[in-house]
A and B are shown apart, each in its own frame.
Chain A
């Protein structure tokens, strides 16, 4: 339908859908693309990036949208390299890390197989593969599901029905009274706030607002939010340690291929666990790209993820582009999509 699109990735929302749908999606380094104009969910994690058929197309889009914005205090001042030209060159000597824990319990064997095949392809292209340890990665989901909801609970407070978006019609026949009126609300204004938010937010957003509000509350802050920030620093340190040994980190995007529509609605925890491989990239603020590396027997796309140090998008894009020159997974369409077309 469109050759390229842009999305925002807070814990994997570019890379995971790209992986599940068989396209290429890039989450740049935090601050590489201005967040101005983006409806903020979790400000310290949100990052805008391209979604396209190929890494080369992602490079083209990133070259256009990246750069410093004086209107976003967190955007980076570093100059923007010519990403499209940095695709040239081989992967000879490039060190790619492989995290054995990624292939532990919970991963679909078909996904594991396709990912290992991709590692083999990189090795064939001249890269070397090294097993590395990310000791705090398994705390990533817990950490993410505190940091992100805490920020979201604050960022979403402005959706009160007063300025824009959905506004509930006020109830009739009552006025602001001290104490509680006939409607059970303290005042018509409070009723408008409460009902606008109740009607306008979906269940998953409400769940996260409640999680975040709870975790930031007096008496819980230290146990939850403050601890999550400490874990976040440890995860960032894991990446610094890893990137002292390797140039990129490879692995699966998600443990399984796409799940059925509504399949996980009643089990949010299992849905959160699907983010296991993507959230740490955001917590550390580094770059990540996801691209297709095969299909399941039932014809669903499988994604491969590469992560890079901050601002190493040229290498990240080159590696993905090289892979897409050696394989054609990114050109194939899932049978389901092809049938529908």
Chain B
């Protein structure tokens, strides 16, 4: 074998299942709320009782269309439902209502770019279709009895399946792309994308392209399941790429000569393991669902959905950078926090009249505090107007930024207004006369510094600022420096 480890390209395609944020299930009126006691959000339809019939939830369909439009997909004017037949205890009807050959949307893209420029990737979306979720099996392995319990609360929850082209080229790209997808879907209110609650689930298809003797050897595709976090996605793909390279070196097996394999990720052990053959080979006997009628989607309906969507994150990053004069990196940080935070930022930037300063306050003060306290920006106790007030007073020279931070912290802690806090902290503007008098005293007390400055070492003046703040915490350091230098020059 002539290939070296660095020449192999990792080729990755993702299959993402996203639960839609509807009040009720896809084909019945049961609640989709997470965390209710087992089997309390069920009815004859989602239990698959005899004589029950599904009726499509139009809100779920529109929400799915919203997701597909956000992914630049083509929306089919005519789409139908199909039955995917398989026997499993958490699938009470013995089939899942899904979409097979006529998904409601196809042919989209979602780009992801590393804000530091490490990669930029346009990822094709093969299809997005809508289906119902199955129930949940809880295997009680700890008890040692092998008993399994079934919770059907989740059965019938609307689920979007998003299938990408194999366009991703590294574990980092896959993770970043999933982050962008999650941002987009949360942004549009399509899903909460909570992986812990199972509202976002990922399978990854991975193989290697290895240049060898003037051609490209392609290793057999492996589908990785049981990926429970974005970190798991990144680690599992990295592991799998290394494993496939090792295996290719020993067996030389290439795609097409061996069947596609399914492997499960063991997060604790940090390895993928082959699943039993039985778990991977299935004949779902798809056929059109006769209990439901096809769905037609006209241009007016699409326009109605589009009208409620607003700008998507990628467009917003560009607009923020342009409107407020902030860097692409800063725009990325802000947009990645979600639409509510962006609205908060834009309100602050507008009131403060300075997008860059507002961005610094967002990132250094607001976001840091949010991260420490937890919660969302909507629950944040300080309003943009208060921060803008502080920024305005700093700009006016009432106090410096570090004093402003102390005020911010006090406003946050006490819930009082900025003016109130400024007054109670004894912060008052220092008049020109007071400043000059204070600087004269300082110069008189520090002949060495005066001599140094006169000798050309202007930076020696910095030693005066700390002393000035001790005498009067309200002085502005820049003004102290400026005034002292002027007084020395005039000596």
Contacts and interface: CB of A to CB of B under 8 A. Distances in A.
Place the interface of chain A in its size category. Answer: 20 to 34
Interface of B: 47-56, 83, 85, 87, 89, 92-95, 146, 148, 283, 285-287, 290-293
Closest 4 pairs (CB-CB, A-B):
A157-B94, A44-B290, A43-B290, A216-B285
Nearest to B93: A158
30 contacts: A39-B50, A42-B290, A44-B290, A70-B55, A71-B53, A71-B55, A72-B55, A73-B54, A73-B293, A74-B291, A74-B292, A150-B287, A151-B287, A153-B285, A154-B83, A157-B85, A157-B93, A157-B95, A158-B48, A158-B93, A160-B87, A163-B48, A163-B49, A163-B92, A164-B49, A193-B87, A216-B285, A216-B287, A217-B283, A221-B285
Interface of A: 35-40, 42-44, 70-74, 150-151, 153-154, 157-158, 160, 162-164, 175-176, 189, 193, 213, 216-218, 221, 225
Contacts of B93: 157-158
Contact of A176 (B85, B146, B285): B146
Nearest to B86: A157
A73 B50 contact: no
Contacts of B87: 157, 160, 193
A38 B48 CA distance: 13
A269 to B, nearest CB: 24
Contacts of A217: 283, 285
A42 B289 CA distance: 11
Q: Name the prevailing secondary structure of the A interface residues.
A: loop
A72 B53 contact: yes
B51 A38 contact: yes
A72 B52 CA distance: 9
Contacts, number: 79
Contact of A158 (B94, B287, B290): B94
Nearest to A45: B290
Nearest to A69: B53
A175 B146 contact: yes
A228 to B, nearest CB: 10
A73 B94 contact: no
A189 B287 contact: no
Contacts of B291: 40, 43, 73-74
A73 B49 contact: no
B278 to A, nearest CB: 9
A72 B50 CA distance: 14
A218 B283 contact: yes
B201 to A, nearest CB: 24
Contacts of A74: 290-293
Nearest to A156: B94
Contacts of A150: 287
A37 B146 contact: no
A70 to B, nearest CB: 7
Contacts of B92: 158, 162-163
B290 A151 contact: yes
A188 to B, nearest CB: 9
A51 B51 CA distance: 21
Contacts of B55: 70-73
Given A73-B56, A216-B85, A160 B94 contact: yes
Given A157-B94, A163-B48, A213 B53 contact: no
B60 to A, nearest CB: 14
B4 to A, nearest CB: 41
